[in-house]
Amino acid sequence: MKKRLQTILSHAGAASRRSAVELIESGVVKVDGRKVTERGFRADPEEQEISVNGRKLSAEKKYYFIFNKPKNVISTAKDTHERRKVTDYFEGVKARLYPVGRLDRDTTGLLVVTNDGELAYRLMHPKFEIEKEYLVTIKPCVDNADIKKIEKGIEMDGKLTSACTIRFEEKDKISAVYRVILHEGKKRQIRRMFEDIDAKVIKLKRVKYAGLTLKGLKSGEFRELSQKEIDRLKAKV
């Protein structure tokens, strides 16, 4: 897959993205033995030989993790307000990692974290309809007719949401827990779905994503995916 040359250099750790542009324009970067000075030049790091100052660029090692995101952690690689970020938990990994999609600050649970940009893009693309499963606690309790209504889809941002599956788990006098399975991921979708039937989501946790689960992971913990799990993810997209 072809990418901008400055992005390839940055991801390989040869320079920051801004410094990479300066390296390219200075004439010290070659692709398949040919000097490249064009800003925005695209190359395929897996198919083409790229060198800087005569040294061949090593292919970037790909990392794949499952992370159990705690509450009040931001699902982004950067934050201007100095809040705790998902990537802060991976400071020991020498790679430019980023979460696949986002969970709201108040939402906990499963995130895939990787530096494989192509896989991340495909997993997030609506056409692949990756299955996501959540445990949702709401209050007040609602009746089954309301649940059936939002299962069929509601209007959101001028469009109808796709049908989803909602299964009752348990309830007490003031709240109820449901298991919600989606194949899309609009911004704050689950919270807005329940708002449509006058219920407030007071707890939201993603427990499953593309067949992966949080088994064995406490809040704030992560683990690397096995090769079998990686292959299954790629097969889905």
pLDDT at 8: 84
Residue 14 has pLDDT above 80, yes or no: no
* Triad 202, 204, 205: Cα angle to 5°: 150
Q: Where is pLDDT greater, at 215 or 58?
A: 215
φ, ψ for residue 21 (rounded to 5)? Answer: -60, -40
pLDDT digits (tens, 9 = 90+) for 163-201: 999 999 999 999 999 999 999 888 899 999 999 999 999
φ, ψ for residue 40 (rounded to 5)? Answer: 90, 0
Q: Which are the catalytic amino acids? A: 104
pLDDT at 116: 86
Q: How far apart are CA 148 and CA 44, in angstroms?
A: 48
Bond into 140 cis (ω within 30): yes
pLDDT digits (tens, 9 = 90+) for 105-140: 999 999 999 998 888 988 998 899 999 999 999 999
- pTM for the model stands at 0.78
pLDDT at 59: 67
Residue 81 has pLDDT above 80, yes or no: no
pLDDT at 55: 86
Q: Where is pLDDT greater, at 78 or 139?
A: 139
pLDDT digits (tens, 9 = 90+) for 167-176: 999 999 999 9
User: Which CATH code of 1.10.3720.10, 3.20.20.70, 3.30.70.580, 3.40.190.10 fits the domain covering 64-126+212-236?
Assistant: 3.30.70.580
pLDDT at 98: 87
CATH number of 3-56: 3.10.290.10
| Assigned token pair, 166 | 């909602």
Provide the residue ranges of all domains of the chain, joining segments of one domain with +: 3-56, 64-126+212-236, 131-209
Instruction: Please state the rounded mean pLDDT for residues 70-94.
Output: 87
pLDDT at 56: 85
Q: How far is CA 131 from CA 54, 84, 210, in A?
A: 46, 27, 5
pLDDT-based confidence at 13, cuts 50/70/90? Answer: low
Q: Which fold has domain 131-209?
A: Pseudouridine synthase (3.30.2350)
Q: How far apart are CA 44 and CA 47, in angstroms?
A: 5
% pLDDT > 90, the chain: 68
pLDDT digits (tens, 9 = 90+) for 16-73: 667 888 899 999 999 999 999 998 899 988 788 899 998 888 667 889 999 999 999 9
DSSP 95-158: S--EESS---TT-EEEEEEES-HHHHHHHH-GGG---EEEEEEEES---HHHHHHHHH--EETT
